Structure 1
C-alpha cells in the first residue's frame, strides 16, 4: 500500500525526512527497483544485480568483475554473487584475463545474449511507463540533475562511491 504525502520544504535548518533529498532519492529508487525486480524475477528468474551485470556485459562486451563493479556502482560481493548465479545458469562465461592471471573476464553467452534481448524491451517499457507523466524536457533535466548529484556524491566521497 502506498502512502501519499504532501512534500513541503521545512523551515531552514530543520530536518524533515520527507523533505530530505537523500531520503527521497532512496525511497524513489527502492520503489522503482522493487517494481522492476518483481517482473524480472517472476518472468525471467533474474535479480536486479544479475540484470545489471547482463546489461553491462551486453553494452561493453567482456569485462572483469572489477570493471563491472566500477561500471555499476554495486559492491564486489553483490557483483560476485550475481556473476556466480548467471554463470550457473550459463548466461555468462568466464575466461582467463590476458594480462592478469588472477582475474577473469565475464561475457554473455549466446543464451545470455538471447535472454538480454528478450528482457530489454520489458525494461524499456517500464521506463516509458515511469516517465509517461513527464515531458521530454523534464526527462532530460532529470537525467542531467541525477548525473550532477552522482558527481557531487562521488566528489564528496573522494571518488569512492
Structure 2
C-alpha cells in the first residue's frame, strides 16, 4: 500500500482478468505478425487490417471497417489513404449515401494480399501448433464471447 492510499483495495486478480489478458495477448500477437509484413512489405498494423477487410468483405466503407476491427475512424481513414497512395486501394463515394467512402482493392492490392496471406496462414499454423487440441475449444469460446458482446 502506498502512503497516499489509506484504505485497502478489494481483492482482484489482474492476471486472470480476461479483458486485460485479451488486450495484452492481442497486442503481442499483432506485433509479432506485424514485424513480418512490415519488414517485407512496409505495411502497418492498421493498413494490414484495412487491406484484409477490404479484400475479404464485400461493399465496405471506412465506417464499416471501423466497426469491424474496433479502430478509430481517423486511424482507418489514414490507413486507407496510405494504401490508396501506395496503389493498393481505390476509394469511391457511395452512390446511395454520399457521406460514405467505399473501398475496393486495386489489382496491386490483390497481388499484395496474395503475398501477405501465406504469412498470416503460417502464423495461424504456428498458433494452432501451440494450442494443439485446444484450438477448436478456443474458437468456440471466442465465438460465444463475440456473439455476447455484439
User: TM-score normalised by the shorter chain: which range applies?
Assistant: 0.7 to 0.9
Cα distance in 1 between the residues matched to 2:79 and 2:93? 19
Partner of 1:5: none
Partner of 2:142: 146
Aligned length: 141
Give me the CA root mean square deviation: 1.6
Q: Which runs of 5+ in 1 are unaligned?
A: 1-12, 155-161
Q: Normalising to structure 2: TM-score of the pair?
A: 0.85
Q: Normalising to structure 1: TM-score of the pair?
A: 0.80
Partner of 2:26: 29
By how many angstroms is 1:133 displaced? 2.4
SS of residue paired to 1:94: strand
Partner of 1:108: 105
Cα distance in 2 between the residues matched to 1:92 and 1:43? 19
Cα distance in 1 between the residues matched to 2:16 and 2:69? 27
Indicate which of 126, 130, 135 corresponds to 1:133. Answer: 130
Cα distance in 2 between the residues matched to 1:104 and 1:29? 28
By how many angstroms is 1:90 displaced? 1.0
Partner of 2:42: 45
By how many angstroms is 1:62 displaced? 3.7
Partner of 1:82: 79
By how many angstroms is 1:96 displaced? 2.3
Q: Which runs of 5+ in 2 are unaligned?
A: 1-9
Partner of 2:55: 58
Partner of 2:91: 94
SS of residue paired to 1:131: helix
